């Protein structure tokens, strides 16, 4: 690893133990929230945007395999620095013209959680078609739903638009697999999680599949326990694991 010299400058012990212990803390809270809700523990996605690969490795060594990243270039450069069995999840805003860079640059990309247009779905399908050698498995996608449109700031389709996009993926994009729906929601407004859940139920009914076959990705550092109570299958936790992020300039 390129990182050894860098790490030699700082005391490795407190750094590694702080990520491992933060993770232990989050896992414990997740387990408690899941057991209170009488549900299986959801997937814990460690959101590592802006964090150096050294810290991702600490998390990997503490057992994390699901990592979430927000920026295409950052993910494409980090992926080869991490072991092959990492299941990368892209959770940032994705422009259609970056679809190919992302799909071709990250062989172990498990899921893009921020699908928000037919155009992007078609570009992802095309990127999969152009891949050589072809992937053995379809690329997972989740539809991002804007459950707080009054905020005017969040990406994603409106809840009532999700069914048409889901149908497009299932019918027209054979190399994509619709895994579920994702939302951020308004901080502190738990009704956003209910909105995602009913949107998921409506999509499943229209597709004629069990609601449980479509996952709900909801819950971040500030609200993952509440999200689990509301039925989350996959939580995206960054700062509670890796510490606060520098504000983007």
Ligand X SMILES: *Cc1c(COP(=O)(O)O)cnc(C)c1O
Cβ 26 to ligand X, closest distance in Å? 9
The sign of the CA dihedral 50, 249, 119, 212 is positive
For residue 133, whether the previous peptide bond is cis, meaning omega lies within 30 degrees of 0, is yes
Site string for ligand X, 59-98 (x = CB under 6 A): -----------x--------------------x-------
> Who contacts 219 (Cβ-Cβ below 8 Å, separation ≥6)?
42, 193, 225, 226, 227, 228, 232, 235, 236, 237
Smallest distance, Å, CB 59 to ligand X? Answer: 13
Q: Kindly report the backbone phi and psi dihedral angles of residue 144, in degrees, each rounded to the nearest multiple of 5, phi listed first.
A: -85, 125
Could you tell me the smallest distance in angstroms from the CB atom of residue 93 to ligand X?
9
- Which tokens in the block code for residue 5? 């010299």
- Choose the stretch contacting ligand X; rule: CB under 6 A; options: 2-10, 30-38, 131-139, 215-223: 215-223
Q: Is residue 117 part of the contact set for ligand X (CB under 6 A)? A: no
Considering only residues 48, 49, 56, 196, which one is a binding residue for ligand X as defined by CB under 6 A? 49
Tokens linked to 140: 């997972």
206 binds ligand X (CB under 6 A): no
**Which stretch, 36-44, 132-140, 172-180, 214-222, contacts ligand X (CB under 6 A)?**
214-222
> 18 or 239: whose CB is closer to ligand X?
239
Shortest reach from residue 155's CB to ligand X, in Å: 9
Closest approach of ligand X to the CB of residue 8, in Å: 28
Burial class from Cβ neighbours inside 10 Å (0-12, 13-18, 19+) for residue 104 reads middle
Binder to ligand X among 20, 108, 221, 229 (CB under 6 A)? 221
Element (H, E) at 21: helix 12-36
The CA-CA-CA angle for residues 37, 38, 40, to 5°, reads: 105
Residue 70 or 108 with smaller CB distance to ligand X: 70
Q: Is 220 in the site for ligand X (CB under 6 A)?
A: yes
* Distance separating alpha carbons of residues 128 and 131, to the nearest angstrom: 5
**Window 156-195: contact mask with ligand X (x via CB under 6 A):** ----------------------------x-----------
Q: Is 228 exposed, middle or buried (0-12, 13-18, 19+ CB in 10 A)?
A: buried
Radius of gyration of the chain (CA): 18
Residues 8-47 that bind ligand X (CB under 6 A): 47
**In the complex, what is the shortest distance from the CB of residue 92 to ligand X, in angstroms, rounded to a whole number?**
6
* Contacts to ligand X by CB under 6 A: 47, 49, 70, 91, 184, 220-222, 236-240
């Amino acid at each position: 690893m390129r990182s050894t010299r860098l790490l030699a400058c700082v005391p490795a012990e407190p750094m590694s133990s702080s990520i491992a212990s933060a993770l232990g803390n989050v896992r414990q809270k997740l387990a408690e929230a899941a057991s209170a809700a009488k549900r299986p523990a959801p997937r814990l996605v460690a959101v590592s945007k802006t964090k150096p690969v050294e810290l991702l490795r600490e998390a990997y060594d503490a057992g994390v395999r699901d990592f979430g990243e927000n920026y295409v270039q950052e993910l494409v450069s980090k992926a080869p620095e991490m072991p092959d069995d990492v299941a990368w999840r892209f959770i940032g805003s994705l422009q259609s013209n970056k679809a190919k860079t992302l799909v071709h640059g990250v062989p172990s990309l498990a899921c893009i959680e921020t699908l928000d247009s037919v155009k992007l779905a078609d570009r992802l399908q095309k990127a999969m078609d152009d891949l050589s050698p072809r992937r053995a498995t379809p690329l997972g996608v989740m539809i991002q739903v804007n459950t707080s449109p009054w905020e005017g700031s969040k990406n994603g389709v409106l809840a009532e638009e999700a069914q048409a996009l889901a149908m497009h993926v299932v019918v027209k994009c054979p190399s994509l697999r619709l895994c579920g729906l994702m939302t951020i929601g308004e901080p502190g407004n738990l009704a956003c999680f209910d909105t995602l859940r009913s949107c998921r139920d409506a999509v499943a009914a229209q597709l004629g599949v069990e609601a449980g076959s479509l996952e709900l990705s909801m819950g971040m550092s500030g609200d993952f326990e509440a999200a689990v109570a509301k039925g989350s299958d996959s939580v995206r936790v960054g700062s509670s694991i890796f510490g606060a992020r520098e504000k983007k300039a």
